[in-house]
Amino acid sequence: MCSGDKEERLIKIIIPGPLTTVQDAGRTGYMAQGFPVCGAADADSMEIGNILVGNAPDTAVLEITLGGFAAEFLSDSVVAVTGADAPFFINGVPLERYRAYPLKKRDYIYVGPVKSGCRIYLCVSGGISTEPFMGSRSTFLKIGMGGYKGRKLMPGDMLPMGYVPKMPKKLGSRSVVPPEFSSTVTLRATVGPQDNMFSPEEIDKFFSSEYTVTPASDRMGIRLDGPFLNSLNGTDIISDGIACGSVQIPSDGKPIILCADRQTTGGYAKPVTVISADMPKAGQLVPGNKVRFVRVTQEEAYKAAIERSRYIKKLSKKLHRL
């Protein structure tokens, strides 16, 4: 398909699953106006899948929560399925995750229920080409903006795909080793910004404890059950900005990892922050998973972020040569 073709490239949603939305790298520069960044909960899976199909890493994709998704392609395309471990079929033929495949018009894709992990990413050549909202195609469910009509996908929805000048070559070589998902996850975290509201012993308790992900978790925050943290004099603060990965401690002392759809400001103390390089792992947590935290320095967090960025750039450069 070339950019001069008149035919609109479309995907028809047959079964959307419990929650499927359009997501990209998120909208930046609008938190001061109260608009969350949103974006893919697992940026690693989104970026790798996009690279596999020949897109820029931040191109819009479908984020499929817990699987059970089916769609018909009304135009030729190239697809890759990344993220959570779930069975994946094209026209009933089982195929591998983290590998690029060509699709012809009227081909049917099905993604079954997840075996481990939480979110699956369907990446298509040219990306999902819905109308941008504030510079991003990410769905902002709470106000019904962005993505496809500001909502989760429903049966019969027709999603446009962007045009591509040419399809990627050597599709059989465009693959990476899928990650493994465990029911017990370790997340690296730095101390701060409001660690002074807790005793050193309470901070140590947080890093030595195991927590369980609760069913109340969502794209906004991962709620944890386990030892509560006792503050020195309450957890209320004057509301300030919230970074992705901030661990908020409300009045009940139970930690909440704030994620992609987090509020822009909050009035509870945030004694620790999960590092950005580990937030994709957090985005794959499901209720019942166990979580432990490892304390790292800011320098170690910077190093991890740089290593992740280098890996994405290296993978993109390698596959671009094919």
Tokens in use for 118? 């939480």
Residue 200's closest CA among 209, 187, 191? 191
CA distance 182 to 281: 10
- State pLDDT tens for residues 217-240: 999 999 999 999 999 999 999 999
Q: How far apart are CA 37 and CA 320, in angstroms?
A: 29
Residue 4, pLDDT above cutoff 60:
no
Q: Would you say 277 and 307 are in contact if contact means Cβ atoms under 8 Å apart?
A: yes
State the distance between the two ends of the chain, measured CA to CA, in whole angstroms: 19
Strand partners, 124: 79
HEC readout, 103-141 = ECCCCEEEECCCCEEEEEEEEECCCECCCCECCECCCEC
Mean pLDDT, rounded, for 213-217 = 98
pTM tops 0.85? yes
CA dihedral sign, ordered 106, 126, 60, 52:
positive
Question: What strands lie across the sheet with 108-111, from one edge to the other?
Answer: 93-95, 88-90, 108-111, 69-73, 10-15, 158-160
Q: Which two tokens stand for residue 199?
A: 């005793």
The CA distance from 231 to 252, in Å, is 10
Is residue 1 pLDDT above 60, yes or no?
Answer: no
Angstrom distance (rounded) from CA 185 to CA 293:
9
pLDDT number for residue 3: 43
Please provide the size of the chain in residues: 322
Instruction: State how far the Cα of 170 lies from the Cα of 319, in Å rounded to an integer.
Output: 9
From the number of C-beta atoms within 10 Å of its C-beta (0-12, 13-18, 19+), residue 32 rates as exposed
Q: What is the pLDDT of residue 319?
A: 84
Question: Using CA of residue 307, residue 312, residue 313, residue 317, what is the dihedral sign?
Answer: positive
114-118, 170-174, 230-234: segment of lowest average pLDDT: 170-174
